[in-house]
Structure 1
Amino acid sequence: MTGPAFWTAPDPRAALRDLLRKAYPHAVGDTDLLFALTRKYGTSPFTTLETARRELAVDRVVFERLLDTFDQVPELRAAVVNGPAGKYWSNTVLPLESKGVIENILERRTVYPHIVALYPGPTCMFRCHFCVRVTGARYENSTLDSGNAMLASVIDEIPPDNPYAMYISGGLEPLTNPGLGKLVARAARRGFKMVLYTNAFALTAQTLARQPGLWDLDAVRTSMYGLNDEEYEETTGKRKAFGRVKTNLLNFQKLRAQRERPVRLGLSYIILPGRSSRLTRLADFIAELSDAAPDQPVDFLNIREDYSGRPDGKLAPGERAELEDALNAFAERVAARVPALDVDYGYALHSIRAGTEAELIRIKPSTMRPGAHIQAGVQVDLLGDVYLYREAGFPGLAGAQRYIAGRLGPGTSLSDVVAKFVADDRRIEPRDGDEYFLDGFDQALTARLNQLETDIADGWRHTRGFLR
């Protein structure tokens, strides 16, 4: 029984029993309990150990035996990681565990942030209806020179042991910064593989010619807001934006093929309510981009679903069934037209494709962590402000200033800001609406840390968090 087979076998309980009988006979008597435990953590990864124990109705001695068995049976671990909620495990939890990031946070160690996001954009040409940006807010042009010098100092400061320690995003649109290419080239010289998150509206031939350092990127990840001008205008407020983005991406495809540059191209697409039936058009669009450079097709796609405005993030049964059908049709079209495309369906869509409802994390102010998780990551903007959450780094955003850990400047490095924040044991009292400062990564990490602290308090330090 492989990991995926646990969820697809006609009778997974019987398949598990056969596996245990053949390879782990000492555990056959616990088949039903191990089956229930696998189902629990394959669909609800942030369940505390005491909650799981009570649901199984076993004492601590028996439960500890079950946990030990999980450590001995790799197929059970694989089944959890390949479950409907498996992306929480594989994309976020286990990678952070393996790097020691989780332990650094729990032990409140003064360490350099695992990931540093640079937010260099002074403005944005779009006004997306789901974006928290304050209309008209921007950084003054006078901040560009000093801001870019400060970001360059961050690039020089970051330890070189992790080539993926930085990425470029926003906040506001990074390509509105005319010095971005120089920052990218500077990072590349130090061995960093940087990903640029962009709307690609300014990814023109002129921009690429003026900023040759952009070719030193590891990847360009373009956020798509529709598949025609009407959809783009409805979402971004910008007329004829799709046509320009499409032209830019087709040109980028041709140029990277001509230059034989290894920079990868990927897309991000959010399925807005009522648009799931258009997914096959997305596959056709990616195929068109790939056909422009057959030897360098589009590399990856990150696809997500917009749960905003739905109670507890839950879909109505009819909407869920429609989305599942659309995802299946999309997968078939991708297999036929762009088979090499690496598609990441994220936390929620992965479970829908698996046909099993999984827990979708929804952090509220009552479950936010007053100390955040500065050891895991920070965001640095043009002013040198160091933000604790990824969706807080917007100028003028009400309440976001409380989530600034400190400001970089002459004589104050990022290491200094982190050290002071940890030493001061700073606490921020969450308010209503603060949860919107957390993106999916921040939410998943917060849920994991809350889970672990509860497990430790309940006496499960050695096995805290179920999988490590």
Structure 2
Amino acid sequence: MRKQISDVCVVGGGRWARIIARSLSQKYTVEIVSAHNYNNIKTWLKQEKSWLKQDKSILLHNSLNDITAKKVVVANHPADHYKTCKSLLKKGKTVLCEKPFVPTLEQAIELNQLGKLYVGYEFNFSQYFKQIPRPVERDISIIWHSVFDEVKYKERKIPDMTVSIFDDINPHILTIIGIILGKKDYQLSTITRDKETIEYTLTTRGYNVHVELKRNALKAYRAICTGRAVHDFTNITEGTLDDELAFFMNNAMPHVSMGLHCNLAKHNNWIVSLTEQGNEMMYKQNLKSNEYTVFREYMLKHLLNAKVFANPKDVELVDHWTFQARSIVNLLADDPFITQEDIAIKLFLSKGILNKINKAIKQCKFAQDIIMNGQGAKYWKNSIIPILQKDLVSKCLNNEYQYPYRIGLYLGQSCMFHCSFCGRNHDASYKKDVRQTGNELIHDMIDTAPTDDPHKFYLSGGLEPLTNPGLSSIIKHGAERGFKFGLYTNGYMLTDKYVEQHPGLWQLDTLRISLYGWDAESYYNTTKNKKGFDIVKQNAITFSKLRDELFVYKPRIKFGFNYIVLPGQAKHIDKVVKFVEDAGGDFLTLREDYSNPTDANKFENQQQLINAFKKIDTNIHIDYGYAMHYPSLGMPGKVLQHVTHKEMRPKGFPQISCVVDLYGDVYLYREAGFLDRPGADRYIIGRLSSTNTFEDIINNYKEVKPHKNDTDYFDAFDHTITKLLNKEEADKYYNVQSPVVIPQDTQLIQAFYPK
């Protein structure tokens, strides 16, 4: 049976699509295609038979492939405009797409090249705006206040909550001022948002157009104000939609060659461009505010696509499920280690609905950015994402071999400081014969290590690495193999003479000095070395000057400092910053005391940190530790995430991190690798040699039963990775995937690798 060929098709099932279908059906045979709202449209057609012409009919389809008409009006969800128009244009259809058209200029240009495409800027057919004289005054105000829930065109009007009022109304504003001023070279100078109100200013050749859009006003009001003249168009009804549709159906759309305002899409790219620019300008503001209505606009279309619910105009349902999605996002932003089961319990969600909401969150860029920039930002960006990118979690959970992702080489022979918080054995030091064989072992390790990651090794230790006479040779050898070593040192031995005798230092990628105070007294209180401050400061200044002389025309070693903020010391951070500036440092890493994170007294007061960070005014790069991110933004945060010995993993995670000392002993945790530290030998999982490789050790080491205080062998990274592995294991068991999207193009941003 031959299909009935219709005159025109309307794609969409919402209020505006129904209004268009009603108008067109007075003269034409109309098809309606609605994938999301098919059943509601079917019911609506039965209820609206009274206005249908007897000799005309409306056909209903749920697929674009069923369209028989050559002309199509696209009035579905704005988020679907691009793919709908693209599909129709490729089928040879002539398309009129309702505003908002598409979100990006790139998409608009692509669609313009595919066929005949118009955009529904209906005010181009208005006689009212054409009669408004060009203002003499250079300041113009346009007010557009809408009531959230009202009746228009015999239909209940609830705004499309998948877009902002700026996306929805700005095309009208630009059409209006384009008619009045006759120019299209507008610049968007400012734009701000407060919940449902958006204000912005457009400029063009001496004119300033101030616009205020409001979606939830108590009373509708629309006006153009120029000087004392007020053009109130709140109740103006001209039938511009009917005129636009008539021109479209009669192949008589105005063209620029006629000197008229044109709806042809390619002549209205400026509207798309300015709207896109405004959205980009508001995006950072929106991330900072994370205001509910903003979140709803970004998230709603994804909740609909994930079939969490079906009706975007059911305000109660929209608010309920948007609130649930926002709660999930905020939980993940605050705590990267919260399990999916805990989320389900907190929010009273079933696994099925949680999976659907998670699917929506995965598709929403705004939600992902909220998660990545919340209180847990440093955990996500500096540690979790790089680990998940490398598929290291599954290796650990399945006890599979993987060459370690990060290896600390603990090269120091002894140390001249006796720091109060250091976990090392102050009486321990290596014998001379161990030093020689140990350095040879490190050379062999460098020779056999994979070279796919230049930052695989870092040089540190419970003892001072500069005390190792073979340090320069090790650095040089690593550089020849393509490794970018970072060196942690207390700087006490970093004299000009030492640097001259150890030229390999200049082949480091980064040299970071650990600071223990801001003056001689504070240094002594921590290190018990009376000369420590003066010697380290002079060494740092000398090293910086030497670096500047040697690396004038080529990339130079990055040079900076680390400072642990202990309770009561926040007020001295400005002095630490000044020290780094005076010493010629590139960066400063500020860290929490992780030696006992279960003790809240180990951490500085949050308000003290906020006050201290506000005072910082410097050009050096400052990286704030995991728990200092929020205070650095002026907001109180949480203390370091940590585990107890009951949460420690019996096999650790050597696939991700371990340390190696000069004996070749491989330690599971970073603070366990200090020479002769009491009890730490339980966390030696093997000794490297020519016949005992990392693969041999990782494939065969035994579980270690944690004791009560064994988290003393953890640093902040060890706590972080343990929390991550426990969380991933719990999610796997619960069988609900996290909604967090792990970007594949992101690399680990080490604190001491300034951008």
Q: Compute the TM-score of the two structures, normalised by the length of structure 1.
A: 0.90
Tell whether 2:419 aligns with 1:419.
Answer: no
Corresponding residue of 2:722: 446
Q: CA deviation at 1:72?
A: 0.5
SS in 1 for 2:402: coil
- Provide the C-alpha distance between the structure 1 equivalents of 2:296 and 2:464, rounded to a whole number of angstroms: 54
8 A contact 1:163–1:191 mirrored in 2? yes
Corresponding residue of 2:732: 456
8 A contact 1:175–1:202 mirrored in 2? yes
SS in 2 for 1:302: strand
Which structure 2 residue ranges, 5 or more long, are not aligned?
A: 1-278, 313-317, 743-755
Change (3 A) 1:307 1:95: closer
Corresponding residue of 1:269: 563
8 A contact 1:273–1:306 mirrored in 2? no
SS in 2 for 1:419: helix
Q: Which has the higher contact order (CA 8 A, sep 6+)?
A: 1
- Provide the C-alpha distance between the structure 2 equivalents of 1:364 and 1:233, rounded to a whole number of angstroms: 32
- Provide the C-alpha distance between the structure 1 equivalents of 2:329 and 2:283, rounded to a whole number of angstroms: 10
8 A contact 2:577–2:588 mirrored in 1? no
SS in 1 for 2:658: strand
1:281-314 CA-partner distances (Å, limit 9, x unpaired): 1221222123xxxxxxx32221013365675537
Equivalent of 2:407 in 96, 104, 116: 116
Corresponding residue of 1:435: 711
Corresponding residue of 1:364: 644
8 A contact 1:218–1:263 mirrored in 2? yes
Q: CA deviation at 1:18?
A: 3.0
Equivalent of 1:376 in 656, 671, 682: 656
Equivalent of 1:17 in 276, 282, 296: 296
Equivalent of 1:181 in 444, 468, 472: 472
SS in 2 for 1:343: strand
- Provide the C-alpha distance between the structure 2 equivalents of 1:111 and 1:169, rounded to a whole number of angstroms: 23
Equivalent of 1:286 in 569, 580, 583: 580
8 A contact 2:563–2:591 mirrored in 1? yes
Q: CA deviation at 1:213?
A: 0.9
* Amino acid paired to 1:395: L
Change (3 A) 1:4 1:33: farther
Equivalent of 1:385 in 665, 671, 675: 665
Corresponding residue of 2:522: 231
Change (3 A) 1:3 1:363: farther
8 A contact 2:560–2:580 mirrored in 1? no
Change (3 A) 1:112 1:20: closer
Q: CA deviation at 1:454?
A: 1.1
8 A contact 1:365–1:430 mirrored in 2? yes
- Provide the C-alpha distance between the structure 2 equivalents of 1:243 and 1:4, rounded to a whole number of angstroms: 44
- Structure number with the higher helix fraction is 1
SS in 2 for 1:186: helix
SS in 2 for 1:42: helix
8 A contact 2:645–2:706 mirrored in 1? yes
8 A contact 1:265–1:300 mirrored in 2? yes
8 A contact 2:487–2:511 mirrored in 1? yes
SS in 2 for 1:168: strand
Deviates more, 1:70-79 or 1:135-144: 135-144
Change (3 A) 1:324 1:66: same
Tell whether 2:313 aligns with 1:37.
Answer: no
8 A contact 2:640–2:716 mirrored in 1? no
* Amino acid paired to 1:394: F
Matches within 5 A, 1:49-64: 49-64=340-355
Change (3 A) 1:465 1:79: closer
Deviates more, 1:443-452 or 1:18-27: 18-27
Deviates more, 1:266-275 or 1:318-327: 318-327
Q: CA deviation at 1:151?
A: 0.9
Change (3 A) 1:224 1:350: same
Tell whether 2:617 aligns with 1:326.
Answer: no
Corresponding residue of 2:236: none
8 A contact 1:307–1:314 mirrored in 2? no
Equivalent of 1:127 in 418, 423, 429: 418
Corresponding residue of 2:256: none
* Amino acid paired to 2:727: Q
Q: CA deviation at 1:226?
A: 0.5
State the identity as a percent: 33
Q: CA deviation at 1:445?
A: 0.4
Equivalent of 2:452 in 161, 179, 186: 161
* Amino acid paired to 1:360: L
- Provide the C-alpha distance between the structure 1 equivalents of 2:405 and 2:299, rounded to a whole number of angstroms: 39
Matches within 5 A, 1:389-404: 389-404=669-684
Deviates more, 1:241-250 or 1:11-20: 11-20
- Provide the C-alpha distance between the structure 2 equivalents of 1:285 and 1:401, rounded to a whole number of angstroms: 38
Q: CA deviation at 1:45?
A: 1.2
Q: CA deviation at 1:135?
A: 2.0
* Amino acid paired to 1:253: S
Corresponding residue of 2:105: none
Q: CA deviation at 1:51?
A: 0.5
Change (3 A) 1:397 1:219: same
8 A contact 1:184–1:217 mirrored in 2? yes
Corresponding residue of 1:302: 589
- Provide the C-alpha distance between the structure 1 equivalents of 2:347 and 2:303, rounded to a whole number of angstroms: 21
Which structure 1 residue ranges, 5 or more long, are not aligned?
A: 291-297
Q: CA deviation at 1:56?
A: 1.1
- Provide the C-alpha distance between the structure 2 equivalents of 1:6 and 1:64, rounded to a whole number of angstroms: 26
- Provide the C-alpha distance between the structure 2 equivalents of 1:389 and 1:117, rounded to a whole number of angstroms: 10
Q: RMSD in angstroms over aligned alpha carbons?
A: 2.2
Q: CA deviation at 1:353?
A: 2.8
- Provide the C-alpha distance between the structure 2 equivalents of 1:19 and 1:466, rounded to a whole number of angstroms: 16
- Provide the C-alpha distance between the structure 2 equivalents of 1:134 and 1:465, rounded to a whole number of angstroms: 45
Corresponding residue of 1:295: none
SS in 2 for 1:69: helix
- Provide the C-alpha distance between the structure 2 equivalents of 1:20 and 1:372, rounded to a whole number of angstroms: 38
Change (3 A) 1:258 1:315: closer
- Provide the C-alpha distance between the structure 2 equivalents of 1:46 and 1:450, rounded to a whole number of angstroms: 8
Q: CA deviation at 1:4?
A: 6.0
Deviates more, 1:100-109 or 1:393-402: 100-109
Change (3 A) 1:78 1:280: same
8 A contact 2:566–2:602 mirrored in 1? no
SS in 2 for 1:391: helix
- Provide the C-alpha distance between the structure 1 equivalents of 2:359 and 2:480, rounded to a whole number of angstroms: 46
Change (3 A) 1:315 1:409: closer
* Amino acid paired to 1:103: S
Deviates more, 1:441-450 or 1:207-216: 207-216
- Provide the C-alpha distance between the structure 1 equivalents of 2:588 and 2:650, rounded to a whole number of angstroms: 34
Corresponding residue of 1:221: 512
Corresponding residue of 1:343: 622
* Amino acid paired to 1:398: P
Change (3 A) 1:309 1:179: closer
- Provide the C-alpha distance between the structure 2 equivalents of 1:7 and 1:24, rounded to a whole number of angstroms: 19
- Provide the C-alpha distance between the structure 1 equivalents of 2:696 and 2:447, rounded to a whole number of angstroms: 15
Q: CA deviation at 1:411?
A: 2.4
Corresponding residue of 1:105: 396
Q: CA deviation at 1:101?
A: 1.5
8 A contact 1:44–1:359 mirrored in 2? no
- Provide the C-alpha distance between the structure 1 equivalents of 2:630 and 2:682, rounded to a whole number of angstroms: 35
SS in 1 for 2:671: coil
